[in-house]
Amino acid sequence: MSEDTDKLIATLSTGLQAVTPLRPPVVRALGWLALVAVLAAWPLWRLADLPVFALRNADPRTALECGASLLTGIVATVAAFHLSVPGRAARWALAPLAPLALWIAASGSS
């Protein structure tokens, strides 16, 4: 390195403070999902016909479809938070495929 580069680095790094590391991706994703759940709870409670929803979910296939779709969303959210961290394995993009396959299989069964 040249002397000018060393001086530039010294000038730029003067007075820097340590960066607070982010919380783990799973913790951040669960926090985001909790916020979404809280924001969605009131309209669902006020506007949804919960007895009809419960009656429809009494059918095991419908309950499996709903559960698999919810699980797909949760896993996709966690995967997105993992993928937002530089250096994480790209395999996280495949994580939602298992619950998605279950959701599709349950939807297609008769």
∠ CA 80-45-56, rounded to 5° = 85
Q: In whole angstroms, give the CA distance from residue 92 to residue 48.
A: 34
Q: In whole angstroms, give the CA distance from residue 13 to residue 18.
A: 11
| pLDDT band at 110; cut points 50, 70, 90 | low
Predicted TM-score of the model (pTM): 0.78
* 81, 82, 84, 89: CA torsion to nearest 10: -160
> Up-side HSE of residue 39: CA atoms within 13 Å toward CB?
6
pLDDT digits (tens, 9 = 90+) for 60-80: 999 999 999 999 999 999 999
